[in-house]
Chains A and B, each alone.
Chain A
């Protein structure tokens, strides 16, 4: 029996690209995320390329939400690792700002929280933090994730969500206070 020749990967990607409806600029989204974290420049582009290579995509067009999420998470992780590793002045202003505002609010609880791979009552710290984010109301979660997941500037969040910048600040302050209360509730307090 004659084996059918497998299509080349490039062809598969072209076919996939052609079938993308609606087409989104995922590379643009990935690049913006990386730039928000480690600043504009080669480092951000490298994070995106590295993630795409890892997921074996040369063209970041896909209909699969799960694939988009994997790419976003990978880029975010690569960018965060770079931003944490490099000297402070080379990070993006947004990363520095976000880090500072979290530390300002949570300085009394964060040092008491173990690393994310530690289990608390059967849950990792990461799972508990994500559980907190999931329980926020729609507006608050949208603002919280735009800021702390996508590292967006306040002005961009305001524009994207159609909320005043004051309200964005207020919602963020509320959610940080809630997060602090939540962590205290888990027993992390000084």
Chain B
């Protein structure tokens, strides 16, 4: 089979789906619209919120008010590109080549160059930055990727280091995790990252949950009053989120991290947690999506990750 035959095969698609895709979003059936779920889910979520709150207030977590919860200020350490000694130094050259060879029909971004590795250690070696040890991750890592993005005028902008793993066993759950840390490049003073994350917590429901996606994102901007401090703003463009709660957590290493729990409407089987922590001048973040019934175990996994930093 080739791509043409694959496209022809799609002609057998169910007629209802063909018509549904043709309709503008507003005319999709009401029962498929998020606001229906939001309305239907209020009572259930209220109950879930009480349970989760009970879980969180017993430890080193401090619930934040809505005003103070969405963003936090952290001191990131700008790292000069010259501090990277590994092969990653060639990323700018690779990006230039990609931009030269890019064709308009390609959906890939020529400004992004990625390499995948089998372990964190290999990825760290590729970066060649002394201040970076293996990603403190207590779970088995099946693959790690490093990506760099750049523009023609700069040649090279922001190195990002992403670790990801698929379907590993954590606390008896089947779970997918994406963790990432972003290194602020001194030349630009600005980083932005947005990641799609998907966590499955029950092997038996894996197939059904395969369609679940959570998009959390954050933006980092230099504080106008303090050039060494940065405002990290947590945000999400996922319209299915109907409530977010924020917490501070003091990790064993003494760092304060910010945790955001996103509650989805009852029609979605999952909720999600995102955690952001500055350690060694770098921003680390971890995202978990879990079945609502697994809230406690997901939080345990999150806190274990946070406490594994030395």
Contacts and interface: CB of A to CB of B under 8 A. Distances in A.
Contacts of A106: 3, 6
B92 to A, nearest CB: 22
A80 B211 contact: no
A130 B16 CA distance: 12
A20 interface: no
B219 to A, nearest CB: 14
A84 B6 CA distance: 12
Given A142-B25, A146-B21, A116 B3 contact: no
Interface string B20-38: 1110110010001000000
A146 B21 CA distance: 6
A101 B107 contact: yes
Interface stretch (A5-13, A52-60, A62-70): A62-70
A127 B11 CA distance: 10
A162 interface: yes
B107 A110 contact: no
Nearest to B198: A174
B106 A65 contact: no
A167 B212 contact: no
A160 B21 CA distance: 10
A137 B3 contact: no
A80 B7 contact: yes
Nearest to B19: A65
B1 A115 contact: yes
Interface string A148-166: 1110001000001110100
Name which of A68, A145, A169, A172 has the most chain B CB atoms within 10 A of its CB.
Answer: A145
B72 to A, nearest CB: 25
B59 interface: no
Contact of A135 (B2, B18, B103, B211): B211
Interface string B48-78: 0000000000000000000000000000000
B1 A111 contact: yes
Given A93-B105, A149-B18, A162 B211 contact: no
The interface size bin for chain A is: 35 or more
Contacts of B7: 80, 98-99, 102, 148
A96 interface: yes
A134 B17 contact: yes
B21 A150 contact: yes
B13 interface: yes
A121 to B, nearest CB: 15
A104 interface: yes
B207 to A, nearest CB: 8
B9 A110 contact: no
A160 B23 CA distance: 9
A119 B17 CA distance: 23
Nearest to B211: A137
Nearest to B103: A100
B310 interface: no
A169 B106 CA distance: 11
Contacts of A43: none
Name which of A73, A93, A114 has the most chain B CB atoms within 10 A of its CB.
Answer: A73
A170 interface: yes
A103 interface: yes
B196 interface: yes
Interface string B189-231: 0000010100000000000001111010000000000000000
A170 B194 CA distance: 10
Name which of B5, B20, B109, B210 has the most chain A CB atoms within 10 A of its CB.
Answer: B5
B90 interface: no
B18 A145 contact: yes
Contacts of A149: 10, 13, 18, 21
Given A72-B22, A102-B6, 18 more contacts: A66-B15, A93-B105, A99-B3, A100-B106, A104-B106, A116-B5, A125-B1, A126-B12, A127-B12, A130-B14, A135-B210, A141-B21, A142-B25, A148-B10, A149-B13, A149-B21, A150-B21, A162-B25
- Going nearest first, the 6 A-B pairs with the smallest beta carbon separation are A97-B105, A69-B15, A145-B21, A126-B9, A113-B1, A102-B3
Interface of B: 1-22, 24-25, 28, 32, 103-109, 194, 196, 210-213, 215, 237
20 contacts: A65-B16, A65-B19, A80-B11, A97-B104, A97-B105, A97-B107, A98-B7, A100-B106, A101-B105, A104-B108, A110-B1, A111-B1, A111-B2, A114-B1, A126-B12, A135-B210, A141-B17, A145-B18, A160-B24, A162-B25
